[in-house]
Structure 1
Amino acid sequence: MIEVTFVTNDGKTVQAPENSNLLRVSLREQGGIPFKCGGGICGTCRCRIEEGQEHTDPVKKKEKNHLSEEDIEQGYRLACQTFLLGNVKVAWG
């Protein structure tokens, strides 16, 4: 199991299986990441991986439609497109 900390949600920390989708973990555990479509189309679930960026899967093409290279370098991802391979801390807003 890995740990996901929702920094913007008072630092709420939850456990999830490795290779979990970040948005699905947030929905299941009431993490609070905002979303509308859940499919990489709207960009609403934009968030920043504050710690553990190396524990996420590679950035996908759909994400590049909403995030600049600078955003990606700063740790921004779309939660609906991000799968977790280890512990992360995520913030949004």
Structure 2
Amino acid sequence: MATLQLKGRTLEASMPVRTGVTLLQAAMELKLDWSFNCSRGSCARCRCLVEEGAELLNDVTDAEWERMDEAEFEQGFRLGCQAVIEVEGPIRASNKPYF
């Protein structure tokens, strides 16, 4: 079974990968200290670095394009509230808010 590994500001945890769940939803389920405010892509506090498994997530959304730039996507950054797990496989991400 594939594992989702998430790291908040000071806590980290893992769980089996489930499709149809955002990285933010998983972080909340794991009770991580993952920053967020709006959960719809406008605050960008849930920004994260996807270190493994980016290809298993949905494509970058319009909300992400409005808040982030292409260079961030190329480096592996996504908004946790917008990054939906579409395919099972190992995924590793860390919360990296701007501030």
User: What is the TM-score with the length of structure 1 in the denominator?
Assistant: 0.87
- Root-mean-square deviation (CA, aligned residues, Å) is 1.7
What percentage of residue pairs aligned between the two structures are identical?
A: 26
Preserved contact between residue 50 and residue 76 of structure 2 (Cα < 8 Å): yes
1:8-52, Cα deviation, whole Å (9 max, x unpaired)? 555421124222111111111113321011111111100010011
C-alpha separation in 2, matches of 1:90 and 1:20 = 14
**Partner in structure 1 of residue 94 of structure 2:** 91
For structure 2, the 5+ residue unaligned runs are: none
Runs (4+) off by over 4 Å:
8-11
1:26-81, Cα deviation, whole Å (9 max, x unpaired)? 11111332101111111110001001111110000100112110100111000001
The answer to whether 1:3 aligns with 2:27 is no
Between Structure 1 and Structure 2, the one with more strand by share is: 1
User: What is the TM-score with the length of structure 2 in the denominator?
Assistant: 0.82
For structure 1, the 5+ residue unaligned runs are: none
C-alpha separation in 1, matches of 2:43 and 2:7 = 23
Q: How many residues align?
A: 93
C-alpha separation in 1, matches of 2:65 and 2:75 = 14
